[in-house]
Amino acid sequence: MRAEAGGRTVRSLTARRSRPAHTDGVKLPAPVPAGPGQESVWAYPRPPRLERTHRHLEIWLGGQRIAATSGAYRVLETSHPPTYYLPPLAFAPGVLERAAGASTCEWKGEATYWTVRGGAAVAVAAAWSYEAPTPAFRDMAGFVAVYAGRMDDCRVDGERVVPQPGAFYGGWITGDVVGPFKGEPGSAGW
C-alpha cells in the first residue's frame, strides 16, 4: 500500500485486513499535533482496540438523564474519536427497545440496533450493541453505544461531547482528542 501522510509517502506491509480499505492512492490528512493530555486519533490502531474506561459518562434525552456510568468500554480506531459502550444496567429501565435492522462490522461482528426513549423523546435506532461480538471484543458483549448527535446531551467527565461528523459514525469528540476525524467532508477515502 502507498499513501501520503503529512506530505510524505508511507508504505505498509501489514495484512490487507489490518489497513484501511480505501487508502490506495488517497492522500491522508496531516494529523493535528496532540498537546499535553491529548490523544491523536491517528495514533489509534487499525484494527481497532477495546479499552476499559472509568471516565464518568452521562447521556440525556427528552430532558432526562437516561444513562450514567463510570464502568464502560471505548473502542479506539485510526481516524475515529472514541466510541463509548455503556453497560445495559447504566440505562434507566424502559429506555432501550430493540429496533429493526442490523449491520456488520468486520472487526466487531453483527450489530443490534436500539430505539432510545427519554421523557417524550424517541430516537429510533439511535443506539447499537454487539450481542455476540468477535473474540477480540467479547468483553463488551451487550454493552450499548449511542449516536451522540441523536441525544440531547452526552458528557464525558462533565464535558459535553461533539458528535463525530457523518451520519454513520458514533464517536464522541472531547477536548482531549484531536483529529482530523473520519466523517468530515473529504474523508470518504480514508
Alpha carbon distance 125, 105 (integer Å): 16
Is the peptide bond prior to 48 cis by the omega test (within 30 degrees of 0)?
no
Q: Say what the pLDDT of residue 26 is.
A: 77
Reported as half-sphere exposure (CB side, CA atoms, 13 A), residue 108 has a value of: 27
Q: Say what the pLDDT of residue 113 is.
A: 98
End-to-end CA distance of the chain: 13
**Rounded to the nearest 5 degrees, what angle is found at the Cα of 158, between the Cα atoms of 156 and 163?**
45
pLDDT tens for 110-136 read 999 999 999 999 999 999 999 999 999
Positions of the chain with pLDDT under 70: 1-24
Alpha carbon distance 77, 99 (integer Å): 26
Alpha carbon distance 162, 29 (integer Å): 20
Q: Say what the pLDDT of residue 189 is.
A: 86
- Could you list the beta-strand ranges (E) of the chain: 2-5, 8-11, 27-28, 39-40, 49-53, 57-61, 64-69, 72-77, 80-85, 96-105, 109-118, 121-129, 144-146, 153-156, 159-160, 162-163, 172-173, 177-178
Q: Say what the pLDDT of residue 16 is.
A: 34
Q: Say what the pLDDT of residue 47 is.
A: 97
Is the peptide bond prior to 135 cis by the omega test (within 30 degrees of 0)?
no
Alpha carbon distance 150, 147 (integer Å): 6
Q: Say what the pLDDT of residue 23 is.
A: 54
**Which domains does the chain show, CATH number per domain?**
47-178 (2.170.150.40)
Compute how many other C-beta atoms are within 10 angstroms of the C-beta atom of residue 35. Answer: 10
Q: Say what the pLDDT of residue 12 is.
A: 31
